[in-house]
Chain A
Amino acid sequence: MSELKAETPVIDFDHRDDISKNNPYERWRHMRAECPVAYSESYDGFYVISRYADSVAGARDTDDFSSALKQTQIPTLPSPPHPPVHTDPPQHRAYRQIINPFFALPKMVEYEPWVQEIVNSVVDPVMASDAFDVPHELAMPVTRQVITRIMGIKDVPTEVNNWMDDFTLLLGEPSRAASEKLQEFLTAERDDRIKSPGTDVISAMVLAEIDGHRIIGDVVGMSMLVLAGGLETTNSAIAAAIWYLLDHPEDRERLQNEPDLWLSAMEEFVRWSSPVPNISRTARNDVEVLGCPIPAGSRVMFQYGSANRDPSEFDDPDAVILDRYPNRHLGFGIGPHRCAGSHLAKLMMRLVLRRVLPHLDQWRVADPAMIGYKAAGTRGMNKLPLVRIPT
């Protein structure tokens, strides 16, 4: 029987603050130990849950914890809903079935040759240079080209990364303005596919029927989700993995010599870097977690990044263990909203890392003080400048 709490601890907590950006781990440790369910008054108030077991239970309980009521970010971002992430079962399944086929594991065999071409075209010139920034020059051009190809987008402005950053990381008017730009861009793409449908995922959304009706009104929102998933998160995992490997020649050598290590290594880099450190819900009903009452209508944040460092689930949780097993991490979420793009993310990580790995001993971080992070609903490096080690 869970310990009955008279009052949920109130804490000063903001998932967008400098601690969240630069070093969230100590605070997560404290929260897991002292206030695994807490209440923050930021952003009109929300409950925040930090342990693995409660995060898993919450993600699976789509009845008590809704993704539809106020979407899945705190604060709710200024945007039309993005099915399927902003839907609950049973509607959720029909939307997932539209996008799932584009990201199913067997599809990766078909995608690998052209993803490899994109990787080579980005990585090789960078490896031949003398200095570069990992997120901007290595990761973003790969992820942007891969996701826009799957979306059938022919001309993607490079500002799309800035719009996505502003939309997800800023608040108020700048976030709203960026959201408008993304919606305008994706509306034009949608309208193009309505005129001439193709075989890309936006065309599939345009042609889809749910209960016998087209869902044209959902296409821009769904496209924003696919674009965000493709642009944001994989960059963080790639940058974190490169940063780690620069400092760990023994693990570089393991990856070079043990081909069977790669699948588990990619999972481990996702767990360790947790590009989605938190995801939020709205309590549909009065609910209780660890004896703390959460009233219906409350916003509730699950800190998957903290869950991924929870020692009750992971031995030596802060270490990168390339062959970690078991590794039931929440880096791609869990339950019905498990990241649809997880296999594509791991494919991109694997191909980029495999291409840069032989060169990493020739590079170093230019200045650790210059490393920068961004954090809100996603978290990752936005600055990781490397320089070639002079020979």
Chain B
Amino acid sequence: MKIVIDLELCQGHGRCVAQAPEVFGYGEETSQSYVLDGADLLANRALIERAVADCPEGAITLIGDE
């Protein structure tokens, strides 16, 4: 399972951080989101799917099943 954040689309709304704070961080330098090191994607799968759906820019893709 892998998360891809399209940095051309990410505008720093931060909804993903709100939906899945154990998975997404927000770069103070970049004002864009990133996937936290060591985030447990499987355990947070439902929240990641919410983050994908809630991103106004459609910048997040969840790839794979495990």
Binding site for B on A (CB under 8 A): 56, 96, 100-101, 103-107, 263-264, 267, 325-330, 332, 334-336, 338, 340, 342-343
Minimum Cβ distance to chain A for residue B50 (Å):
7
CB distance from A63 to the nearest CB of B (A): 14
What residue of chain A has the Cβ atom nearest to residue B21's Cβ?
Answer: A263
Whether A334 contacts B11 by the Cβ 8 Å rule is: yes
Q: Which residues of the other chain, B, contact A264 by a CB distance below 8 angstroms? A: 18
B54, A325: Cβ atoms closer than 8 Å: yes
B13-66: which residues lie under 8 A (CB-CB) from chain A? 13-15, 17-18, 26-29, 31, 50, 53-57
Would A105 and B17 be within 8 Å (CB), given that A328-B55, A329-B56 are in contact?
yes
Residues of B within 8 Å of A106, CB to CB, are 26, 28
Give the complex CA separation of A329 and B54 in angstroms: 9
State the 10 A-B residue pairs at the shortest beta-carbon distance, nearest first. Answer: A328-B56, A105-B26, A338-B11, A100-B31, A263-B18, A326-B53, A326-B54, A106-B28, A104-B28, A105-B14
**Bound form: Cα–Cα A258–B57 in Å:** 28
Secondary structure dominating the interface of B: loop
Task: Give bound CA distance, A246 to B45, whole Å.
Answer: 37
A-B contact count (CB 8 A): 52
Distance between Cα atoms of A103 and B30 in the complex (Å): 11
Asked if A335 contacts B28 (CB within 8 A), the reply is no
B12–A338 touching, CB < 8 Å: yes
- Supply 5 further A-B pairs (C-beta < 8 A) apart from A325-B54, A335-B57, A338-B12: A100-B12, A104-B31, A105-B17, A328-B54, A332-B13
Cα distance A322–B54 in the bound complex, in angstroms: 15
Choose from B11, B26, B29 the contact partner of A335 (Cβ within 8 Å).
B11
Across-interface contacts of A96 in B (CB, < 8 A): 31
Instruction: Give the interface size class of chain B.
Output: 10 to 19
Instruction: Write out the residue numbers on chain A whose beta carbons fall within 8 Å of the beta carbon of B54.
Output: 325-328
CB closest chain-A residue, reference B53: A326
Q: Which residue of A lies closest to B29 (CB)?
A: A101
Q: How far is the CB of B44 from chain A (nearest CB, A)?
A: 15
Q: Which residues on A sit within 8 Å (CB–CB) of B13?
A: 332, 338, 342
**A44 nearest CB across to chain B (Å):** 31
CB proximity of A339 to chain B, nearest CB, Å: 9
Q: Are B56 and A342 closer than 8 Å at their CB atoms?
A: no
Bound-complex Cα distance A326 to B14 (A): 14
Please give the distance in Å from A85's CB to the nearest CB on chain B.
Answer: 14
Q: How far is the CA of A181 from the CA of B57 in the complex (A)?
A: 38
Chain A residue nearest in CB terms to B17? A105
Bound CA–CA A56/B11 (angstroms): 13
- How far apart are the CA atoms of A113 and B14 in the complex, in Å? 21
Q: Which residues of A contact B12 (CB under 8 A)?
A: 100, 104-105, 338
What residues of B have a CB within 8 angstroms of the CB of A326 in the complex? 50, 53-54
B18 contacts across to A, CB distance below 8 A: 263-264, 267
CB distance from A84 to the nearest CB of B (A): 12
B53 touches A325 (CB 8 A): yes
B29 to chain A, nearest CB (A): 7
A264's closest neighbor in chain B, by CB? B18
Contact of B57 among A103, A327, A334, A342 (CB under 8 A): A334
Q: Is the CB of B27 within 8 A of A104?
A: yes
Residue of A nearest to B25 (CB): A106
What is the CA–CA distance of A263 and B21 in the complex, to the nearest angstrom? Answer: 12
Q: Determine the residue in chain B with the shortest Cβ distance to A336.
A: B11
Q: Given A101, A330, A336, which contacts B28 in the complex, CB threshold below 8 Å? A: A101
> How many whole Å from B40's CB to the nearest CB in chain A?
19
What is the CB-to-nearest-CB distance from A332 to chain B, in angstroms, rounded to a whole number? 7
* A328: B residues at CB distance < 8 A: 54-56
